[in-house]
Amino acid sequence: MDLVKSLPLHLQNLKRIFFKSVESVRPANLFDRNKYALQPKLDDNKRVVIRIQSKTFDITRKRCHVVGFGKAVLGMAVQLEKSLDKRLVSGILSIPIGTQEQFKEDPNMQLASESKIQVFEGAPNNQPDQVALEAAKSIKELAHRMGENDILFVLISGGGSALLPLPKAPIELEQKQTLIKRLSLQGASIDEMNIVRIALSEVKGGRLAVAAKNAFAVISFVISDIVNDPVDLIASGPTSPIRTRKFRAYEILMKYHLWQDVPNEVQDLLQNEENPEAPGLNNTIYIVGDNKVATEKSVSESVSLGYNPFILSTSIQGSIEEVIALYKLLLESLRKYQKEEITEDDFQELFPFDCRIFKHFIKTVQMSMKAGKPLLLILAGEPTVHVTGSGVGGRNQELAMRMSLEFFTNPLLRDVCFLSAGTDGIDGPCPAAGALGCSLVVEEFLKTKEMQAFESYLGQNDSYNFYKDLCGGGFHVVTGHTGTNVMDLHFILIP
């Protein structure tokens, strides 16, 4: 029987939970909440107003404009356009290449036929290009044109850094692009890369809001793709000046041994870097979606499938080696507790997450044991992978592949199932969002090949081709570009 069609039920369910969780953070669903209902209304004083959370904006006789950059902003712009209708007089979006074609059948991703919004599609494989550069120039020019009767809506999501590239002179786009790519390959975190991007940019680090300082209001809607939702780092914070940072840009480049490769004129710029001017009081920023929304949906969907869920963390980060060690310690301790080989106090001592949640966690574990229900651990965040090979793949597929090996080689964990996938639908430079991990992955591979070949795939960071060639790609998680982005989701299912 075809394994793709006969994928074990738990693995099918993990995919289903992931798909439902991603759907919950698509812009149409995020803006459907009452606190982000943007339809203009007349108040008691006959003013035309919009209400966002607890704040009211008077848009009487105001011209509304929108700019946006990122993987999720097309859907955000569609919702804004529907709400503001004719009050929206201009706009510019910078979105990933192919986005409009991919979503041409989705009404929630279709701008009006006579839309006032100009759309640029660029940044293939999440890398800045000339199209994205032209979009960034146009967006900054529009911001500069804002006056006291103009309101600028700024839509921001993950991928926005690559889609809003406007390097400071004398830096060329190609120089900046190469530098950020090398940082990524060295395993730099998204926070570190964005600090460097901000230092080299004319629009990031709050500078876009400064360009629009003459506007009546600058209102930013953000879908977060960074742990703990730091608005100064999401898409490199174009409307928020950088708040706190452990290192300056040149120190990060030194950390990853790249400083010596930076041209002298760029070194001078970075060593004399000044903090950007603070945006005006007209600047307001709202987080409309993050991975907490997605994990809450994971909970409700998993309950409907008969699982006992628990959200362990929404801030997973670090190298995938560190993440694997964390998960391995948790799972081995959990299994020993289930087998009564260690006490609850022992388990608490070994528990590698926030100790404040242990009491709630152990209650869920005990409920699962008593009811005979599988336990589903839900985590979210964004680990990093240090690429040394020449293969194709991303952190999610490699994490799933390495976890599969852990499950296969550890009798305690042989029946554990795992999913790791990016909510943007993209995992590295390939068309997969992520993959499933379980001992069955290794077992199926070893039916036709040797363990040495498995290790070769890992050594080459070639997780995409490993999963693509295994059982017709049945263990792959493939969504296509989802039109949103709130980092990665990890599910660990313990039968």
- Residues β-bridged to residue 66: 91, 153
Q: What pLDDT score was predicted for residue 194?
A: 85
Burial of 148: CB neighbours in 10 Å, binned 0-12, 13-18, 19+: exposed
Is the Cβ–Cβ distance between 439 and 366 less than 8 Å? no
Q: How far apart are CA 96 and CA 337, in angstroms?
A: 47
Percent with pLDDT over 70 in the chain: 98
The answer on pLDDT for 426 being more than 70 is yes
The tens digit of pLDDT for each residue in 155-178 reads 999 999 999 999 999 899 999 989
* Mean pLDDT, residues 411-418 taken together: 97
The answer on pLDDT for 245 being more than 70 is no
* The pair of three-digit structure tokens given for residue 234, joined into one six-digit string: 């999401």
* Mean pLDDT, residues 235-247 taken together: 83
Residue 217 has, within 13 A of its CA and on its CB side, a CA count of 18
Q: How many CB atoms lie within 10 A of CB 274?
A: 6
Output the pTM of the full model.
0.91
Band of residue 34 on the pLDDT scale cut at 50, 70, 90:
low
Q: What pLDDT score was predicted for residue 206?
A: 95
End-to-end Cα separation, the chain, in angstroms: 24
The sign one gets for the Cα dihedral 203, 206, 207, 212 is positive
Q: What pLDDT score was predicted for residue 37?
A: 66
The answer on pLDDT for 98 being more than 50 is yes
Residue 393 has, within 13 A of its CA and on its CB side, a CA count of 33
In one-letter notation, the amino acid at residue 382 is: E
Place of tokens 């080299």: 200
The sign one gets for the Cα dihedral 217, 222, 227, 228 is positive
In one-letter notation, the amino acid at residue 404 is: S
* The pair of three-digit structure tokens given for residue 108, joined into one six-digit string: 């929630």
* The pair of three-digit structure tokens given for residue 464, joined into one six-digit string: 């995409």
Q: What pLDDT score was predicted for residue 6?
A: 63
Mean pLDDT of the chain: 94
Enumerate domains of the chain plus CATH numbers: 26-289 (3.40.50.10180), 292-494 (3.40.1480.10)
Higher pLDDT, 5 or 389: 389
Nearest to 403 by CA among 434, 372, 364: 434
Place of tokens 């999720």: 72
Q: How far apart are CA 58 and CA 411, in angstroms?
A: 64
Is the Cβ–Cβ distance between 66 and 79 less than 8 Å? no
Question: Degrees (nearest 5) of the Cα angle 379, 382, 388?
Answer: 130
Least confident range from 66-70, 110-114, 230-234: namely 230-234
Nearest to 382 by CA among 263, 228, 238, 494: 228
b/e 339-370 (16+ beta carbons within 10 angstroms → b)? eeebeeeebbeebeeeeeeeeebbebbeebee
The tens digit of pLDDT for each residue in 370-413 reads 999 999 999 999 999 989 999 999 999 999 999 999 999 999 99
